[in-house]
Amino acid sequence: MTMGKIIFYEDRNFQGRHYETSSDCPELTSYLSRCHSCRVESGCFMVYDRPNFMGNQYLMRKGEYSDYMSMMGMSDCIRSCRTIPAHRGSYKMKIYEKENFSGQSNELMDDCDNIQDRYRMSDCMSCQVQDGQWLMYEQPHYRGKMMYLRPGEYRSFRDMGMSSSKFMSMKRITDSCH
């Protein structure tokens, strides 16, 4: 499996000190005083504007991001990052209308651009990811703030440091990252 590689820079336009990694980093300020630009040489990464994979998130694919704040609308500099491993195989997630896996539920195996239209669900406030890597969006049609989910149980999106506690569309992260 090919590992991803990302280089963070303290200043915009790839200036200042830099830090390179191919793994999760819960606190970038251990290496850099701030981070305002980055270059993804391979793979995909989620970057976060708070330490420990919290706060606003953005998916970074291969490319150059000379001033990530203006492009992504993040409130502060990048504080942590997580690698997104390649996934081959099926995708499966069960979404719930309310926190703690309660209320109406539905199972997804592919992208869903609007849970209101497809399932008549007004909210998605918790989920269980069985297979694959997923992105959830607070608005229909993959818009608004996003959240990265890997296999596991998510009882409350609010407890994960998200300003929004509900999501309206979901997309699989496919092999296009690697």
Sequence ranges of the domains in the chain? 5-83, 92-177
Give domain 92-177's CATH architecture: Sandwich (2.60)
pLDDT for residue 32: 93
Identify the bridge partners of residue 42 per DSSP, sorted by sequence position: 5
Can 5-83 and 92-177 be said to share one CATH topology? yes
**DSSP per-residue letters across 139-168:** ETTTEEEEEEE-SEEES-SGGGT-S----S
The pLDDT value recorded for residue 129 is 98
pLDDT of residue 104: 96
- The Cα–Cα gap between 137 and 144 comes to 6
Local confidence pLDDT in tens for the 178 residues of the chain: 457 999 999 999 999 999 999 999 999 999 999 888 999 999 999 999 889 998 888 899 999 999 866 655 555 688 999 999 888 899 999 999 999 999 999 999 999 999 999 999 989 999 999 999 999 999 999 998 889 999 999 999 887 766 666 899 999 998 666 5
Strands (E), 61-174: 63-65, 80-83, 92-98, 102-108, 126-131, 134-139, 143-149, 152-154, 169-172
pLDDT for the residue numbered 74 = 59
Written out in words, the top-level CATH class of the domain with range 5-83 is: mainly beta
Give the strands of the sheet with 63-65, arranged side by side.
15-21, 5-11, 37-42, 63-65
Q: What count of residues does the chain have?
A: 178
CA neighbor of 136 nearest in space, from 178, 90, 81, 93:
93
Query: Tokens 């994960």, residue?
Result: 160
